[in-house]
Each structure stands twice: as C-alpha cells, then as structure tokens.
Amino acid sequence: MSTKFKQNKTIEIIGFPMDLGAGRRGVDMGPSALRIAGLDRKLEALGYDVIDRGDIDVKIMEEQSAGEPNLKYLKEILKTSEELSGMVFSALENNNFPLCLGGDHSMALGVLAGISAHCKKKGLAMGVIWIDAHADMNTHETTPSGNIHGMPLAAALGRGYGNLKNLMGISPKLLPENVALIGLRSIDPEEKLLLKELKISAYTMADIDKLGINRIINKVLAQFRERVDHIHVSFDVDSIDPSVAPGVGTPVPGGLSYREAHLLMENIAECGCMSSLEIAEVNPILDNRNQSAEFTVELIASSMGQRIL
C-alpha cells in the first residue's frame, strides 16, 4: 500500500436531501431525521470533532420536469452531484472524514466522484464496500424504472450514460476488483449479467445465511487492505430488514438483522481503514417515530468505534 490508513478525528457532515433519483417521496428528509436522532452528539461523545456543512440545495419534483423517462430528473441530479463531489473532495483534501447523509442512493454519484478525484490527485487506489439490498448497477439502457438511484455503481465502474459516469472528468472511477457488494436480495436481470461480466465480489443474503456476516466482512477487509488505500462504505439502509428499519426508500423483506448490521459496522471500525461513509435511503414518511433514523445513528456510531464494553 502507498499509505497507511488513518482514522481522521474531524468529521464533515454533508447533507444531500435528494429524492429525485427514487420513485417514492420522503427520502429527501433523511438528513434531517438523522440529525434529529442526535448524530452529531453521538459522534462528539466518541471523541470526534464534527463540522456540519448543512444540506446541498435540491429542487423538489414540483419545480421541474422529469425529462427523459429512462433518466428522470437528470439535469438537477447532475448539477447537485457536481456540488456534492466538490464538497467531498474538499473534505478529503483537508484531511477530514466525509460523512454524507441522503437522500436516495443517486447521492453516490457525487460522493464517489469526489473521492475518486482526491485519490487520483494523491495517487491512491479506492475501494468501495456497497451494503445494499440492490446492486444499483442499471444504466439508462437497462433500467426498468428510469430512476437514477439504481445507476450509481454502474456509473462509477464506467458504464451507462456519459454525463453520469464522467462526473469530475474521471471514468471509470472504480475498478471491479475493488468493489464488494454485501446484503443483496433484489437484483434486476441485466444487473446480474453485469455483475458476472465484471466478476465483482457480491454477497447475497443467502451467502450471509450460509457463511455468516463476520466471515464475509473480514474476508472483504483483508482483501481490500492488500490492494486499496481508501475504503469508502456506501450504506443503504434498505439493506436492513424492514422489521428493524421500516423507514427506507425501497424496503425488501429478509434483510440484515439488528446484530448482523452492528457486527458488520463494528468489524469495519476495528479494521481502522474506513476513510469515508455515506448513508442512503432513510425515509421518515414510512418510519415509526424516527425508529429507522435512530437505529442508523447507532450503526454509524458502531462504524466509528462505539462498543458495548
């Protein structure tokens, strides 16, 4: 490795209240729900300095046209993703830890663009642990819905619509061998083909049932420690079973349990090698008294070092 991993003690919170990439309203309130659940206080109690950069301004659906049916709200998503990428890049250049709060998972377009620009400048290799019920590897040619939140990982790998994959002027931003998907349980047919074509490490809920989450995440982290310098964790809360976190953008039964999710994040923290984190798809409209946001804040704390003892 060209550098040693280090856990930055200053966290920059960046809110991305985006719901244009999804087919359901409400995830734009995710950043607020996470703040209301006491995210900053939790992180400060763990010894971090916290800088909250506020939210990027995103036009609501009623203020604009959806545009192309297979790339809905493309113009606004590109505009705001460019702003987000600049803020992530700036945080990393200041040796801070970017913690990005969504919003739907189209947020990853800007987040991965900012990280990739930083890594390119510093000569670093980026790895991504994608924790999600969905692969998010559709393109404008394969999407069944036209919702861009199903496209960011494909775009980072250099697949799909030009302006989506070329954010920050870098494509591809990520090599297939440096990405691992964990928690999959709802994958479109074309995404399956692309996963196999690129030979990406992908662990479904069936794999987790058979092998256990501890074995899987430790295997992924061991591989990444050998070949990447910056590990980004992209956590979609719909990876959690709806019985634990009902307030998510696209709930799918049969997800990670309470303890599986915490063990996953605790192991990432013990590695000491996570350099950035994004949290996507918290939807307070579908939640019960902010239960999902409060659970997610505890998960973030686990990933940043909180322990039972």
Q: How far is CA 192 from CA 129, 186, 198, 279, 281, in A?
A: 18, 10, 10, 24, 22
Residue 177 within any structural domain of the chain = yes
Q: What number is the average pLDDT over the span 226-252?
A: 95
Query: Mind listing the pLDDT tens digit for each residue in 108-159?
Result: 999 999 999 999 999 999 999 999 999 999 999 999 999 999 999 999 999 9
Closest by CA to 298, choosing from 249, 229, 251, 245, is: 245
**Mean pLDDT of all residues in the chain?**
95
Percent of the chain at pLDDT above 90? 94
Does 5 or 77 have the greater pLDDT score? 77
What is the number of structural domains in the chain? 1
pLDDT at residue 1 tops 90: no
Residue 7's pLDDT is what?
63
Residue 4 within any structural domain of the chain = no
CB 115 within 8 A of CB 71: no
Residue 24's pLDDT is what?
82
DSSP structure class, residue 237 = G
CB atoms closer than 10 angstroms to residue 169? 9
Residue 132 within any structural domain of the chain = yes
Separation of CA 281 from chain center: 9
Q: Which residues does 299 contact at the CB level (< 8 Å), separation at least 6?
A: 235, 261, 262, 265
Query: Mind listing the pLDDT tens digit for each residue in 180-219?
Result: 999 999 999 999 999 999 999 999 999 999 999 999 999 9
Residue 308 within any structural domain of the chain = no
Query: Mind listing the pLDDT tens digit for each residue in 71-121?
Result: 999 999 999 999 999 999 999 999 999 999 999 999 999 999 999 999 999
pLDDT at residue 276 tops 90: yes
The CATH number assigned to the domain holding 226 equals 3.40.800.10
Domain carrying residue 33: 10-303
What does residue 186 show for φ and ψ, rounded to 5 degrees? -145, 100
Residue 103's pLDDT is what?
96
Residue 8's pLDDT is what?
73
Q: How far is CA 191 from CA 56, 68, 69, in A?
A: 30, 21, 19
Residue 5's pLDDT is what?
61
Residue 2 within any structural domain of the chain = no
Q: Which residues does 141 contact at the CB level (< 8 Å), separation at least 6?
A: 70, 160
**How big is the CA angle at 108 (ends 189 and 169), to the nearest 5 degrees?**
105
pLDDT band at 22 (very low <50, low <70, confident <90, very high): very high
Residue 279 within any structural domain of the chain = yes
* Residue 249 bridge partners (DSSP): none
Residue 4's pLDDT is what?
54
Residue 186 within any structural domain of the chain = yes
Residue 227 within any structural domain of the chain = yes
Does 33 or 308 have the greater pLDDT score? 33
CB 113 within 8 A of CB 28: no
| Global pTM exceeds 0.75 | yes
Q: What number is the average pLDDT over the span 34-40?
A: 98
Which active-site residues does the annotation give? 105, 132, 134, 136, 149, 236, 238, 281
Residue 2's pLDDT is what?
38
Q: What number is the average pLDDT over the span 155-177?
A: 97
Residue 6's pLDDT is what?
60
pLDDT at residue 49 tops 60: yes
